[in-house]
Amino acid sequence: MGDIIVLAISCIFVNNILLAQFLGNCPFLGTSKKMETAVGMAMAVVFVMVMAGLITWLVDNYILTRLGLEYLQTIAFILVIASLVQFVEMFLKKSIPALYAGLGIFLPLITTNCAVMGTCLINIKEEYSFVQTLVSSFSYAVGFGFALILFAGVRERIVLGRVPKPLQDTSIGLVTAGLIALAFMGFKGMV
């Protein structure tokens, strides 16, 4: 049990997927201008990342490794993620329209979110067990959402300030992200 908690904390804070591993930066900068979109994206990512993590683990361990087809990992994973996203989208549209409307365009965008694919690859690379995969996928996703929402909060404030013209928009966004990453470095050595 202790191991699981340590793993969760390390995935959320110490190895934060956005700020320490640099995965999923496109949606990080793209959807963080408003709090609403940031929350929508964070929720969609938690949802898809956990499912994708578990399914790719099963695919890798029970199909690819058994058949000696590890070199097809990249193709297999991206297909699993793409079809999963499509499936989740159709399912939500039919059965939970409110949630579907809430997530909106963020669902299809997740296919090209490298945080999802990255988490799946890390799970396999670290040779996690099924339970560890579940915990790490969920924790990485929570870490992603946490950083995204934090950043969106800061960014909403920046809009109000007077930023020099060449630094505006993405440029100041990146510098701010750097400062947040600096704060997250404080978690190093915790686990």
Residues that bind other proteins (CB under 8 A): 19-26, 29, 71-75, 77-79, 82, 111-114, 117-118, 121-122, 125, 165-168, 170-179, 181-182, 184-185
User: CA end-to-end span of the chain, whole Å?
Assistant: 15
Do 127 and 145 meet the contact criterion of CB atoms below 8 Å apart?
no
CB of 2 to other proteins, least distance (A): 27
Do 18 and 144 meet the contact criterion of CB atoms below 8 Å apart?
yes
CB of 164 to other proteins, least distance (A): 8
Residue 20 vs 43, nearer CB to other proteins: 20
The alpha carbon of residue 7 and the mean position of all alpha carbons in its chain are separated, in whole angstroms, by 16
Residue 175 vs 190, nearer CB to other proteins: 175
**103 CB-near residues (< 8 Å, 6+ apart):** 40, 43, 44, 47, 92
CB of 172 to other proteins, least distance (A): 7
CB of 28 to other proteins, least distance (A): 8
Residue 129 vs 168, nearer CB to other proteins: 168
Residue 43 vs 78, nearer CB to other proteins: 78
The alpha carbon of residue 133 and the mean position of all alpha carbons in its chain are separated, in whole angstroms, by 14
CB of 9 to other proteins, least distance (A): 18
CA atoms in the 13 A half-sphere facing the CB of 86: 6
As a whole number of angstroms, the distance between CA 127 and CA 123 comes to: 6
Residue 9 vs 29, nearer CB to other proteins: 29
